Amino acid sequence: MSPPPGAVEHQRQRAELSRATGRAARTLWAQADPEDLERSWLALLARVIALVTAGQLTAARQAQPWLQRTLPGELAQGEIQPERLAGVSGDGRDLAGLLMEPVYVTLNRISRGFTQALSIASGAAFLEMLARTLVADIGRAADLVGMIARPGITSYVRVVELPACARCILLAGREYGLSAGFERHPQCDCTMAPVTRTYRPEPVDAMDVFRQMNPAQQHKAFGAAAVKAIGDGADIAQVVNARRGMTTATRYGREVQVTTEGITRRGIAGSRRAKFERRPGNRYSTAKAPRLMPEEIYRLADDREHAIRLLRRNGYIV
C-alpha cells in the first residue's frame, strides 16, 4: 500500500525544492569572510532572504495546482495567496533575524574553543537546515490553507516517503483534523494528503513504510537492535517511543540501557510489573523494575526465545 501518487510526487517536488534552497544558501555562506563573519554576512543577508523567500513562494504556489489535480471537483471558497505566506517563518517570525542565527552558532563554537574551520562548517550546516525548514514549513502552510478553503475536505493524512526518520515513519498514514498542527522536525520533508467524505487515500501505516525499506535504510532510521526487535514481533511504536526516555541505570551489577517511557500503570510495560513506587517530582507511580531498551535485551538474552520473553515482559511485544 502507498499514498496517492499525486501526493507522493507533491512531496518529492517539495523536498527537492527545500534541498535546493538549502544548498544555494550554503553557497552564499561560503562567500562570507571568516575573519569578519558578522559584517560580511550582513552584506550578503539581503540575497539570502531573497533566496529563501523565492523558495517559499515557489513552495506555496505548488499547493493550488496540486489540490486541483487531486480533487478536481472540490471548489475553493478562496484562492491561496502565496505572496502573503512567503517572507516569514512558519510561526510568523522575521527572516532577517532567523538567518543571522548561523553567524551566532559559528561565533559561539569559536568562543568555546573549536577551530575556525569546524565552526564555519557548523554554521553552514545550521544555515542549510534552516533554509530547508523555512521552505518546507511555508509549503505545508499553503497546503493546509488550500484544504481549509475547500469545505469538502474534512481532514488530512500524513504522507511519509523515504528517506525519513523513525519518528516520522511512526506517524505515516495517521489522520488529523484541519485544525491540528503538523508535527515536524528541522528538515522534515513530510507532507499531507486531503480526505473528503467521498475521497480517502489508500491507508498506509508505519509497518508498510518499514517493509518498503532495505536493511541499510532500516538500520539507519531505527538502529540494529530496534530492527531486530521489530523482526522478532515487537510493536514498532513501542520500540520508537522507548527512545524518548532512554537513559542508563545500575542494575545486575553494571550499567544498563533503560527507558522511562511506558512504565506507569497505564503503560504496556508498566502493566506487566508487580511493584510500583512514587519518586520525588513524579506525578504518577512508576514500576520499580527498569524497562530495558531493546539493545540491552539482546545483550542479556541467551537466545532468541529468551529475547522474545524479555521483549514481551518489557512491553515491546504487545
Where does the pLDDT of residue 54 fall: very low under 50, low under 70, confident under 90, or very high at 90 and above? Answer: very high
Where does the pLDDT of residue 16 fall: very low under 50, low under 70, confident under 90, or very high at 90 and above? Answer: very high
pLDDT confidence of residue 85: 94
pLDDT confidence of residue 281: 67
pLDDT of 232 strictly over 80: yes
For 243, other C-beta atoms within 10 Å of its C-beta total 16
- The grid coordinates listed for 126 are 545550521
Question: What's the pTM?
Answer: 0.83
- The grid coordinates listed for 46 are 539581503
- The whole-number average pLDDT for the span 232-256 is 90
pLDDT confidence of residue 317: 94
Q: How do residues 154-187 score in pLDDT, each as one tens digit?
A: 999 998 888 899 999 999 989 999 988 888 888 8
3-state secondary structure of 47: helix
3-state secondary structure of 249: strand
Instruction: Name the residue with higher pLDDT: 270 or 176.
Output: 176
Where does the pLDDT of residue 1 fall: very low under 50, low under 70, confident under 90, or very high at 90 and above? Answer: very low
pLDDT of 63 strictly over 70: yes
**Contact present, 128 and 52 (Cβ < 8 Å):** no
pLDDT of 71 strictly over 70: yes
Q: Give Cα separations from 6 to 34, 287, 295 (angstroms).
A: 44, 47, 39
pLDDT confidence of residue 213: 93
